[in-house]
Each structure stands twice: as structure tokens, then as C-alpha cells.
Amino acid sequence: MHRKSHIALSMALAMLMAFMVHSRPAPAAPGLTPSTETTSEVTPETTSEVTPETTSKVTPGNRVSDEVMTRKAARTESGPFAENLLADESNRSEAASRTLIVGERGGFARIADALSAASDGDTIRMEAGTYREHELLVDRQVTILGIGRPVIDVEHKGEGIRITADKVHVEGLEIRNVPTSHSRDHAAIRFERASGGKVIDNILDDTFFGIYLARAHDMVISDNRLRAYHTRESVSANGIHLWNSNRALIADNEIIGHRDGIYLEYVQESSITGNHVEKNIRYGLHFMFSDDCVYRDNRFENNGAGVAVMYSRRVMMKHNLFVNNWGASSYGLLLKEITDSEIFENEFSGNTIGIRSEGSDRVKKHRNSFHRNGWAIRIMASSMDNLITENNFIDNAFDVSTNSRRHSRNNFEANYWDKYSGYDLNGDGFGDVPHRPVRLFSLIVERNPMALMLLRSIFVQILDLTERVMPTITPETLVDEKPLMRKVAI
């Protein structure tokens, strides 16, 4: 109840703020029509500010890029990314690129005109203002730079920007009001068969899809803020959507209110780092058939479910935060048909289920922290040969539950369990008595979910105690033979 109202409140607030930001006066109707075949000219009074000569690099644009670079370098440790930017910058200057200005005070009044005027290697500089345009097609290799956060208002008329050329760089824009559609996948920014592009520091507000990559490889998507306001899964779409796109870097984005925050399907060798993914209706991050990916340092908070990793191999999950993912069938992390992966030093806190594991084999879960979850780990009998070691289990209603009394083929070893009541006489740091993390009550709940209402009742505590003293029903092999006496310092 509280949470709902909280969400509603913060959404209302965000909308209000968005409204205030957007309600700046729109630029005057285009007064002067620039010649379409050459670079735009600048109105006299602004000469001191910008000289859009074809030969020189534009200082303000450069300044923005510099800013982005330094910020990037400071915030993420992804060195190659910053270098990319630099290399790109130098490439452009070598190609003797031009700068096209779009804005009310001079140059092109419409982005579309500038786009069709541009040629490979050009920079389109957009001045602050609101541009009511849609279906902008970028079919040549340009850099689109927003100065002072220009707004492209799609006005619910269709797609925002569609990019079909390689190495297109989009930065500093705000795109809003991309309509929901049942037949077409409208996106604010779409890359189609266009590789090597960059999408940096944009704001996407109230969009259907945010950034959509299809067969676009080697992409960088960073520092964007994506916001949608959908409430139902059927009318919402994904924030950052990748299909058949390999080697992407998705870093430091903030994605709120979409269906899936980040969706990957048939994506290989990509890296998802430092994103903040919150309040998305279905999953924060959704993996399908995507092998050899890494995601780390992300925060998944309050999504329908945190992360669903399905049908993938060799996934590395590291240093992520899975927080408060609640729901009737919600979990921090769903592993479905995942093999040979690693879950390392993540924190699961306040989720209905921390990790739910189905049909997943040879996944090593180590040095994770499970704190205040309903179920820390639900490991189905279909999962085998998983190693669960050196994790902290603290204040969870249930540490481990499983759907089978039959023997488990997963290895729990040397974890810290706050419910462990044994002792360590020889002082080797391991408890002398094995710990059985599956409570009798969790089996009861597994068979009769209604019994959950008896959680923490004295009757149930007595049942559990009896079972602990004389184990008869709980799985015999699901045992931590040497539980840790102290928390693992992570």
C-alpha cells in the first residue's frame, strides 16, 4: 500500500517536473529558409557566438564532447569507451567535416532538412528549442549534437529517429512522446543494420520503445535517461532493446517505467554495466539466447522482476544490486536454462525471491549477500551441479526452498547462515554441525501456499524446531556440511 502510493507520488512528481522543464516556449516558426545544398548561414547577431565554417571544428560542440568524455572517464572505468570517443573526434576532423546548425536563431529550422543536407562525416548541431518532427531518417554517417538539450517532440505521430548508417553518434537530445502502437515497434531512436554507433547522454521521455537496436553491432549506449509511464505490460515496450546485436556496451543509463528495462535477444559478448533500472513493469533486464555476456554494477530496483536470464550460456553476473523486486511471482534474479555461468558478489535485498533457479546447471553462486528476502534461493529440482558457496544469508524468511524432497544435486558449502545455531569447538571457523537450510515450513508452503499465512507463528516455529532436532522430511542431502561461523566480508 505504502509502496504503491510512493510510486504514484514520485511518478506524479516526475511528471510535474517534466512538464515544467518542457514548458519552455517553443522556438518561433522558421522565418528564414536556408539553402539546402550548402551549410547553413548564421544570422548576423549571433556571429560572435558561432561560426559554422565547413573547415573548422565547432568549439561549442567540441566543448560538449569534452565534457562528456571527462565525465565518462571519471564515472566509469571503461577506458576503451572514452578512447573511442577521442578517436572518433579525430577521424571527423580528418574528413574535413562540416557543421550544420539547426535552431531558431539561424541555420536550419527543421532537423529533417539538415539531415538531408548533410553528408558523411558532418556534424549537425542542434540549438536548444523544441522541434516538432518525427520519422527522422539518418542514412549517412553523421554526428547529431544537442546544445542546451534541444527537444524533439514526436507528438505521438510515429518514430523518433531511424538510423540506417554506421557510426552515427547521437548526443545531448531529448526525445519525447513516442506513441504506443500494437502493430509497429515505435522507438525514440532506432538503429537498423547500422553498427558502431553511439547514443550518449540523451533523455527519452514518455516513449514506447526507447532505444531499439536491430542487427546493430559494436554499439555504445551510455548515460541516457529513459522514462516511460506505462502501467500495463501489453501497452508498454522495452527501454533499451537489442536484437541480434553483438558486442554492445550499455553503460550508466537510467531506465524507468518501461516493460523490460533492458532486453537482449540473440546478443553475444555484450556488456551491461552501471545502469540504474527501476520500476519497470516486467523485468529490469531480460536475457534471451544471449551467450557470453557480462553484466555488472547495475542496480535493479522495484521492477516486476529484477533480472530474467533465460536460455543463455556463460553469463557473468557481478556486483549487481537486486533490490525490492516484489510481486506475486517476483524475484531478484530468474535463472532459466542457464549453464556454466557465475553469480559473484551481488546483493539481493528485499526481493520476494532472491534467486529462482530452474533447469540451470553448473552455475556458481559465490560471495553474494542475501538480505531480507522472502526466499533467498528457490532452487528447483531441475537444477543440477550448482555450487553455492561463501554467501551470506541474513534475515530471509526462507533461506533455501525447493520443490522436491528428493535428493538435491546442488552443493551448498561454507555459507554463512544467520539461522545456524551450531558451534565451532575446534575454532576453524566452520560450524561442527551441518546446517539444513530448508525449513520444514518451506516445504509445507511449497505444497500449500495458503499455509504461508502462518509464517512466524509459534506453532510453525515449534514445527521447524522439531524438524531441526529430528530431520525426517526435509531433503537429506541439501545440507551445508561446514557452515561459516562468521559473515563473509564482501
Partner 1 sequence: MILKILKYQLRDVFRSRWIIAYVLFFLVLTDVLFRFGGDGLRVATSMMNIILIVIPLASIILGAFYLYNAREYIELLLCHPVKRHQLFWGMFLGLALPLVAAFAGGVMLPYFYNAASAEAWKSALMLVFTGSMLTVIFVALAYYLALRFDDRIKGLGLALVICLFFTIIYDGLILFVIYMFSSYPLEKPVLVLSLLNPIDLGRILLLLQFDISALMGLTGAVFREFFGTPLGMGISVASLLAWLAVPITAGFRRFLVKDF
Distance CA 47, CA 56 (A): 15
Q: What nine digits make up the cell of 29?
A: 516558426
Q: Which of 452, 485, 488, 490 binds partner 1 (CB under 8 A)?
A: 452
Name the one range near partner 1 by CB under 8 A: 118-126, 144-152, 187-195, 444-452. 444-452
Q: Is 395 in the site for partner 1 (CB under 8 A)?
A: yes
- Told to check if 454 binds partner 1 by CB under 8 A, we report yes
Q: Examine residue 458 and tell whether it contacts partner 1 (CB under 8 A).
A: yes
Q: Is 386 in the site for partner 1 (CB under 8 A)?
A: no
326 binds partner 1 (CB under 8 A): yes
Among the listed residues 451, 485, 488, 490, the single contact to partner 1 using CB under 8 A: 451
* Of 55-63, 312-320, 344-352, 466-474: span binding partner 1 (CB under 8 A): 344-352
Minimum CB distance to partner 1, residue 459 (Å): 4
- From its phi and psi, is residue 114 left (phi > 0), alpha (psi between -120 and 50) or beta? alpha
Q: How far apart are CA 84 and CA 71, in angstroms?
A: 14
**Cell digits of residue 84:** 573511442
Q: Is 337 exposed, middle or buried (0-12, 13-18, 19+ CB in 10 A)?
A: middle
146-185 footprint of partner 1 as x/- string (CB under 8 A): ----------------------------------------
Beta strands of 359-406 (E only): which ranges? 364-366, 369-371, 375-379, 387-389, 392-394, 398-401
Should residue 300 be labelled a site residue for partner 1 when binding is judged by CB under 8 A? no
Interface with partner 1, residue 369, by CB under 8 A: no
Q: How far apart are CA 197 and CA 52, in angstroms?
A: 24
Candidates 20, 450, 470, 489; binder of partner 1 (CB under 8 A) is 450
- The CA-based angle 272-11-277, given to 5 degrees, is 10
Choose, by CB under 8 A, the member of 105, 313, 372, 468 that binds partner 1: 372
Number of H helices, E strands in the chain: 6, 39
174 membership: H or E segment, kind and range: strand 174-176
**Residue 187 contacts residue 212 (beta carbons within 8 Å):** yes
Q: Which of residues 235-264 bind partner 1 (CB under 8 A)?
A: none
Beta-ladder partners of 137:
162
Contact 325, 301 (CB under 8 A): yes
Give phi and psi for 121, each to the nearest 5. Answer: 90, -5
**Per CB under 8 A, which of residues 460..489 are in contact with partner 1?**
460-462
Candidates 287, 295, 375, 416: give the one binding partner 1 (CB under 8 A): 375
Shortest distance (Å) from residue 443 CB to partner 1: 12
Interface residue list for partner 1 (CB under 8 A): 1, 324, 326-330, 350-352, 372-375, 395, 397-398, 444-445, 447-462
